[in-house]
Structure 1
Amino acid sequence: MGCLPMAQPCHTPEGTAEVCPSTPPVAVEQEGAASPNLARGRPTSQSSTYTHTDGISGISGYAVDGNCDGRWIARSCTHTNLENNPWWSVDLGREYAISLVVVKIRQDCCGDRIQGATIHVGDHTGDFSKSSFTCGTITYLENGSLSTILCNGALGRYITIAIPGQVATLSPAEVEVHGSNSVCRS
């Protein structure tokens, strides 16, 4: 039995060391090892990509690049356009048993924008329909804070964050996914 690390090193645009989003100590069965961040550097997609007048775009991959700065100007945040049902998704490459998802909220503003976002584990990108498992809902958080959503071993290849049934923007700063190899389905 291992525990998730309290923090892990990551980079900032200037190359200085910083602490990545971390979770409170949560026990995760992982054959004696800490559960790795399965999302780091994996392919991502989102419902749309917002580009600000400053020329910076909220590219979906910013949420899994390890840049924990949390500010728009640091190119640390993903961002969709204002739209109905915005979503962001990461492809883990294969199916895993997902234990938890950690979302770092944008630091420079807009913490309220993620209120009501749901975390889904499924077999299709952007899937937050009935065919995916809903781990939980993010409630209002202060700018720069972390939300840890337990998924209790839900099986899936894709993790999707969505704000269903609302016209909204979605702009997480960093997303970590923790889990282990899935067991065979019966």
Structure 2
Amino acid sequence: MTVTQEPQIRPVSGVAQRYARALYDYASEQGAISDVLRQVRGLREAIGQSADLRVFLRDARLDERRSAEVAGALMEKLGFGDALRRFVGVIASNRRLSELVSILDGVIALDATLRGEVVAEIRSTQPLTDMQRSQLQGRLAEAGYSRVSMIERTDTSLIGGMTVRVGSTLFDTSIAGRLTRLQNAMKGAA
């Protein structure tokens, strides 16, 4: 495993942060923050597991009305509550569905920050199992990150393994990372 220090990359854009803050504040005012957070994590997981859903979110050809209709029907079918359904409808109407994942990540990150946790961004070739999540949280606790909120992303370009970014620290156990390090070492030996 390689640990590198890199400049902190803000995983959430300014627009996504504003939407995330709006949902978080609305849910807090309604007294439904724990319920909405559970649904946000569920939606984030559903997007991570469905290639078709990711393609739909990136499809810029749909007009606002049609994308809002499809998003609303999808949210209802997946069983999400009224607040999250309406919120995704607003995002669709504003032609921001392509940023939905960043917005959801922003809600999770905002909640973690307000609770005094550190956000860890995990990239792996396949979604993590519950056992892998538990083991990873244990390893992060050993590394000094006892209060961690994890944001998971699927990235097939890693070939295998995973990367974990906590702040400006990157833990890289991916095969792609190993190949890059090997290539750099061979360039230096030449």
TM-score (norm 1): 0.26
- Answer 1 or 2: which has greater helix percent: 2
Structure with higher Rg: it is 2
TM-score of the superposed pair, with normalisation by structure 2: 0.26
The structure with the largest strand share of the pair is: 1
